A and B are shown apart, each in its own frame.
Chain A
Amino acid sequence: MSAHTAAATLDPVTLAVLKGRLEQIADEMDATLYRSAFNPIIAEAHDACHGLYDANTGDTLVQGKSGLPVFVGAMAFAVRAAARVAQERGGMVDGDTWLFNDPYEGGTHANDFKLVRPFFRHGQLFCYLASAAHWHDVGGAVPGNYNPAATECWQEAVQIPPVRIVRQGQLDGDVLAILRANTRLPDSLWGDLNGQLSALELGIKRLDGLLDEYGDAVVLQAMGELRKRALVLMRAHIQNLPDGRYSFEDVLDNDGVKDELLTIALDMTVKGDRLTLDFSRTSLQCAGPVNISRATAVAACYVALKHVFPDVPANAGVLDAVDFVLPDGLVITAERPRPVGGYTETILRMIDVIFSATALADPNRAVAHAYGTINALSIAGHRTDAARKGQRWVMFSFFGGGHGGHSTGDGLSHSNAPISTATIPPLEILEAAYPVRFTEWSLRPNSGGDGTHRGGLGAVYEIELLEESAEAFIFGERGKAAPKGIAGGSNALPNVFSYQHEGQWCQPPMVSKMLGIHLKKGERVRLETPGGGGWGPAANRDTAARAHDVAQGFVSDSNTTSSKVKP
């Protein structure tokens, strides 16, 4: 990069223009993958991300607007991991694309395949382009890989270290063959991989065009400047919070293996314009798959801070004003081979405690807890009709819930998780693709926490099996401790999963996680998801708003307090 020379200062106008142009490149990469992806978790749920990353540090320079928020923080680790391995093998070469799913180095979980492509200008590494996307099935013990009983990473998924899927422009058929052999859905995998490669190709073309237009030095300078501005904004926001130490802790139901609560504890210190997030009092790493790696933990903090301060640009500058205390060996700094497949649940809890701690500092800044679990539900089996006899089917989806109340209004009902911008597949699409029938798809009354501003409502989904038999599993959370209100608001209702067995409704022994649920034709599973927590004392709720809630059936008239549990 030193070959390029830059003017002393970049004018604010060029900077504003380049900010939009760079974001557009990432947005276009996102759009390319969504349109071409095979699996609905990418195409509909947008569980993917694209961005530009620093040539030296791997830090996020730019990320697309529609990508999965949690990847912003994690991708920097992924790029670094690929760069390090490449270094050992002769360095990054133009035209190569590295691929891997190692969650300990690259963050998140093994379903997320990260592709890292070096971008060269005039023979020199200028920056990285990367693409991450959730593949439908990558081996392991259960279809879809959310194995609530896993105790080692190999029971969750095939483990692929950084390897070259493309060498100097040529797809490596050997690597592809290994990938295809390690999935239950090879065509889906091939389609998704293709989409990611196309997205990177497009990104290279667009970035080349931009650099030709503005000059390498000016664009590089803009990237640096944008990061600096994010830091300045973050510092200004932190400065506005009163100095002090704000502590909050919350729990996970269990790790799916041992039925014990796990604590996520935060001591947040505001001092001037710096923020310290100290998670030292958090539980130790556990046997089951709710561990997360350090990269994922940092990514979770990033997402939480972006929600609290939404106007700060999405780049690494957000984290430059923050000090982390993340000791080794915790459930949030787990190491190989601790299973990490259920990473979403743990980071949602980290986000919750950051919201609550921020509310202690300034109740108007934070939003009450959202529903706090992605509720990964899989129903799978084999077709028995003549035309498709023996064909395997896997319906795997995530479900929604309510958002928390906030200083400016009630929470949004039935929304997506704070770590994601995923939409839910239409039930008619699911019914057309799989032998199931939804018997209910509705809002869940009373599920939002009461408050001056009520939490949004969760949902009820009830699904009946139409095939002879199937096997289901659920990977959820918030079955024991409900999402919490803030600033005096009440808690939401907790998550409830039920299934029918021999004519009886049953619930999992470990509440929100269970493997091997056998369903026969006509039997149902039922998810009642949490709403969001309330904001402010319930006593201050507007009378008209309360009457409206009753008239609409958002709360039942016999019991206008949706939860007895106070935070």
Chain B
Amino acid sequence: MSTQQPVTPHLVVGVDVGGTFTDLFVLDERDGSARIVKVPSTRGEEARGFMNGVVRVSEGNAPTATTGDAAKAGVAATLATIVHGTTVGTNALLERKVARTGIITTRGFRDVLEMRRRDRPQTWGLRGSFTPVVPRDLRLEVDERVLADGSLHTSVDLAQVRAQTQALLDAGCEAVCVFFINAYANPINEQQAVAAVRAMWPNPYVTSASEVLPEIREFERCSTATLNAALQPVVGSYLAKLEDDLRNQGFSGELLIVQSNGGVMSRETACDVPVRTALSGPAAGVIACAAVARASGFSNVITGDMGGTSFDVSLVAEGEASLAAQTSIEFGLVVRSPMIQIETIGAGGGSIASVDPSGMLQVGPESAGSIPGPVCYGRGNTRPTVTDANVVLGRIAADRPLGGGLLQALDAKAAELAIQTHVATPLGLDMLAAAEAMLTVANAKMAGAIRVVSIERGHDPRQFAYMPFGGGGALHVCAMMREVGVTTGIVPRYPGVTSALGCVMADMRHDAVQTLNKSLLDLDLAQLTARLAHLAEACQKRLDSAGVRFERVQEVVSLDMLYMGQTHTLQVPLNPADISRESIQAAFEKTYAASFGRVLTGMAIRVMNLRYARIGVRPKFDLAVLAPKGTGSSASLGVQRVYHAGQWWDAQRYARLDLPVGAQVAGPAILEQADTTVWLEPSFYARVDTLGNLLVERNAP
């Protein structure tokens, strides 16, 4: 390799910063080759772990770089595009390590954020608590009022706005959110106030609630916008530092951020609306699963991401990931913006098993997490976890280094003792039966989550393939197939770096909403068309800001509709080329009938919101680059004893990544790779498809 040529950026790198590891997926655009880099995460200082990963990418890329031009150009000079899934925002919210933030709001409404929707975290017990992200003394009021029909009741008093802005600055606020009642219907007062605040505020961290979310429902809008304001300095400074570090290392390409909706956005957009990063990493994982499954010929797939404390389930139908309208980061921390629908339950490797006084076996939601972790980690936890059960039953070999060298060996004896003491003895079972019972209960919980995401959306989970990812998912793939009745399991080639892969694959996407709240009869169709054009233009501007090449641009338009008098809306697809009252009504009735099995004729119909998404489709790379090359090896590495269904089995051990395309493995078998273990139960078999995925099926009966 010549070191005399100037370095042309040619690498597209997906970076997912997780709690334990920072994963990088590296695609070389010159030859279409791909590889993976894993470095430890540096919690609290995520940019450092990120840069460590980038250094490793460059080392692997050009061994001579340190002595050639590349060194002068910096280690990041070969990187053309970096796409980043980040949990910096989510972690900051959970730990309440956000910027000191103020709210300026309509007189009489300073407590909207703290009053929530008059809910409580648990049905039973009445011991809930809630700490708002902005305390009450930083929520200040001004005189102004717009009515629900958009008419101006009281003009905003800008002198008061300036005084309150000064008060917040004096109180040490770094960010501010302006949130006025009914501003979704007419933003004039809020816009004037925001302009006045921006004129005084010493930094760009000023959020206008109706800009972030011009949608009816004051608490949801206020919460979303306030969290956005509080995150701006956190995410903004993180991304600025990252970009600085990258530029200093010669990076001249684009830094893109994954949003909760599964699309990517420019760094600038991410700094404006950091609240859209709430599910950044997990969303990228689902996008990757959708793409991998599609490439393998499965357009309907349910994904299951099993980590240390939780199991996240998502559904991909007809190749598209389901979107949810909002989520709660935790009780009362509501973010309303379209996001990949992810159902989370407390069932992960660290979930603790216990027996209650009535003799009911429970697994989770209490978790030992990754610190101190399962009993077998030997770090002080003595209560048995799902991972402990997997170890004593032989599914995870105790002598295998776990977590990429994090632990050299596992303490199986301690795990056995914990299961004996806390599960076997109270239930009157032997230790192995108790360990199996723990897995059965955990599997049933996970299967329940799969049913929830599929059935609630009107899908039959048995018609879907199941794709486990994350470190723990593949151990339970056969169990999920049995529980849910799925016929095909797909273990992607690199389950542990799925989110990083998704970063590289994700399209650029921008969502927008505008509340209309009109009866279908009164809907002004010309105005609807004009609003559509406006949203299209605003979203296109966001797309343009990234400097990324698209293969094509597509749009998704829908209306939130309901019968007059209902409160829950249905999302009804709208064809922008065919906007008429008749076509809108027909589309609504079709959607309603599909959801509830009937149409209520003669009832008036209301159009609540216009929703718009503009998608810049990025060039796709051929997933076949991930496939195993050459003849590999199908040889067994030996026999591992695994306890299953009440007896010991001799399972063959395989190096999963050595298996060539077309290789077949019959259960019972253990397939090992650095970031996960696949447990293939007896009467299941697996084969490697042309993309390197493991397709798991049951033996014909």
Interface residues in chain A, defined as those with a beta carbon under 8 Å from any beta carbon in chain B: 12-13, 15-17, 19-21, 24, 28, 31, 34-40, 43-44, 65-66, 69, 185, 187-188, 190-191, 194-195, 198, 229-230, 232-233, 236, 306-307, 310-311, 367, 370, 399-400, 403-404, 406, 408-416, 418, 421-429, 431-432, 437-443, 459, 462, 466, 551-554
Q: Give Cα A17–Cα B111 distance, bound, in whole angstroms.
A: 43
Q: How distant is A61 from chain B, measured CB to nearest CB, in Å?
A: 16
For the complex, is B691 an interface residue (Cβ under 8 Å from A)? no
Query: Which residue of A17, A43, A190, A410 is within 8 Å of B568 (Cβ)?
Result: A43
With a cutoff of 8 Å between Cβ atoms, the chain A residues found around residue B700 in the complex are: none
Task: Please state if B357 and A236 are interface contacts (CB–CB under 8 Å).
Answer: yes
Task: Please state if B563 and A191 are interface contacts (CB–CB under 8 Å).
Answer: yes
Query: Which residue of B117, B440, B445, B566 is within 8 Å of A424 (Cβ)?
Result: B117
Task: Please state if A421 and B120 are interface contacts (CB–CB under 8 Å).
Answer: yes
Total interface residues in chain B, CB < 8 Å: 69
With a cutoff of 8 Å between Cβ atoms, the chain A residues found around residue B600 in the complex are: 190-191, 194
With a cutoff of 8 Å between Cβ atoms, the chain A residues found around residue B217 in the complex are: 426, 428-429
Task: Please state if A412 and B130 are interface contacts (CB–CB under 8 Å).
Answer: yes
Query: Which residue of B108, B129, B148 is within 8 Å of A432 (Cβ)?
Result: B148
Query: Which residue of B359, B565, B598 is within 8 Å of A194 (Cβ)?
Result: B598
With a cutoff of 8 Å between Cβ atoms, the chain A residues found around residue B218 in the complex are: 426-428
Task: Please state if A414 and B126 are interface contacts (CB–CB under 8 Å).
Answer: no
For the complex, is B554 an interface residue (Cβ under 8 Å from A)? no
Q: How distant is B109 from chain A, measured CB to nearest CB, in Å?
A: 6
Task: Please state if B126 and A403 are interface contacts (CB–CB under 8 Å).
Answer: yes
With a cutoff of 8 Å between Cβ atoms, the chain B residues found around residue A37 in the complex are: 566-568
Task: Please state if A38 and B448 are interface contacts (CB–CB under 8 Å).
Answer: no
Residues of B100-119 at the interface with A, using a CB-CB cut-off of 8 Å, are 108-112, 114-119
Q: How distant is B346 from chain A, measured CB to nearest CB, in Å?
A: 13
Q: How distant is A151 from chain B, measured CB to nearest CB, in Å?
A: 32
Task: Please state if A553 and B360 are interface contacts (CB–CB under 8 Å).
Answer: no
Task: Please state if A236 and B358 are interface contacts (CB–CB under 8 Å).
Answer: yes
Q: Give Cα A400–Cα B116 distance, bound, in whole angstroms.
A: 11
Task: Please state if B126 and A307 are interface contacts (CB–CB under 8 Å).
Answer: yes
Task: Please state if A20 and B136 are interface contacts (CB–CB under 8 Å).
Answer: no
- Given A66-B123, A412-B128, 7 further pairs, Cβ under 8 A: A13-B441, A17-B441, A28-B455, A36-B596, A37-B567, A43-B566, A432-B149
For the complex, is B182 an interface residue (Cβ under 8 Å from A)? yes
> Chain A interface mostly helix, strand, loop or mixed?
mixed
Q: Give Cα A270–Cα B514 distance, bound, in whole angstroms.
A: 59
Task: Please state if A409 and B455 are interface contacts (CB–CB under 8 Å).
Answer: no
Task: Please state if A65 and B357 are interface contacts (CB–CB under 8 Å).
Answer: no
The contact sample of 9 A-B pairs, CB cut-off 8 A, is A17-B440, A28-B456, A310-B125, A400-B115, A410-B129, A412-B130, A415-B119, A431-B148, A437-B145
Q: Contacts A194-B600, A403-B120; is A426 near B437 (CB within 8 Å)?
A: no
Task: Please state if B137 and A406 are interface contacts (CB–CB under 8 Å).
Answer: no
- A-B residue pairs, 3 tightest by C-beta: A310-B124, A400-B118, A310-B125
Q: Give Cα A163–Cα B448 distance, bound, in whole angstroms.
A: 36
Residue of A nearest to B600 (CB): A191
Task: Please state if A16 and B137 are interface contacts (CB–CB under 8 Å).
Answer: no
The proximity string for B residues 207-220 relative to A, scoring 1 for CB distances below 8 Å and 0 otherwise, is 00000000011111
Q: Give Cα A408–Cα B444 distance, bound, in whole angstroms.
A: 32
Query: Which residue of B108, B565, B598 is within 8 Å of A188 (Cβ)?
Result: B565
Q: Give Cα A443–Cα B148 distance, bound, in whole angstroms.
A: 23
Q: How distant is B163 from chain A, measured CB to nearest CB, in Å?
A: 18
Residues of B464-518 at the interface with A, using a CB-CB cut-off of 8 Å, are 517
Q: How distant is A302 from chain B, measured CB to nearest CB, in Å?
A: 11
With a cutoff of 8 Å between Cβ atoms, the chain B residues found around residue A411 in the complex are: 126
Q: How distant is B453 from chain A, measured CB to nearest CB, in Å?
A: 12
For the complex, is B451 an interface residue (Cβ under 8 Å from A)? yes
Q: Give Cα A437–Cα B106 distance, bound, in whole angstroms.
A: 13
Q: How distant is A454 from chain B, measured CB to nearest CB, in Å?
A: 11
Q: Give Cα A479–Cα B361 distance, bound, in whole angstroms.
A: 46
Q: How distant is B28 from chain A, measured CB to nearest CB, in Å?
A: 47
Residues of B430-446 at the interface with A, using a CB-CB cut-off of 8 Å, are 436-437, 440-441, 444-445
Task: Please state if B109 and A442 are interface contacts (CB–CB under 8 Å).
Answer: yes
Q: Contacts A12-B361, A13-B361, A442-B111; is A191 near B566 (CB within 8 Å)?
A: yes
Task: Please state if B129 and A431 are interface contacts (CB–CB under 8 Å).
Answer: no
Residue of A nearest to B127 (CB): A406
Task: Please state if B127 and A38 are interface contacts (CB–CB under 8 Å).
Answer: no
Residues of B120-145 at the interface with A, using a CB-CB cut-off of 8 Å, are 120, 122-130, 135-137, 145
Residue of B nearest to A206 (CB): B455
Task: Please state if B115 and A414 are interface contacts (CB–CB under 8 Å).
Answer: yes
Q: Give Cα A141–Cα B191 distance, bound, in whole angstroms.
A: 47
Q: Give Cα A188–Cα B563 distance, bound, in whole angstroms.
A: 10
Residues of B125-174 at the interface with A, using a CB-CB cut-off of 8 Å, are 125-130, 135-137, 145, 147-149, 153
With a cutoff of 8 Å between Cβ atoms, the chain B residues found around residue A554 in the complex are: 136
Q: Give Cα A459–Cα B440 distance, bound, in whole angstroms.
A: 46
Q: Give Cα A151–Cα B675 distance, bound, in whole angstroms.
A: 72
Query: Which residue of B216, B445, B565 is within 8 Å of A20 (Cβ)?
Result: B445
Q: Give Cα A65–Cα B568 distance, bound, in whole angstroms.
A: 20
Q: Give Cα A34–Cα B129 distance, bound, in whole angstroms.
A: 26
With a cutoff of 8 Å between Cβ atoms, the chain A residues found around residue B114 in the complex are: 413-414, 443
Q: Give Cα A40–Cα B118 distance, bound, in whole angstroms.
A: 14
Residue of B nearest to A437 (CB): B147
Task: Please state if A416 and B118 are interface contacts (CB–CB under 8 Å).
Answer: yes
Q: Give Cα A406–Cα B111 distance, bound, in whole angstroms.
A: 23
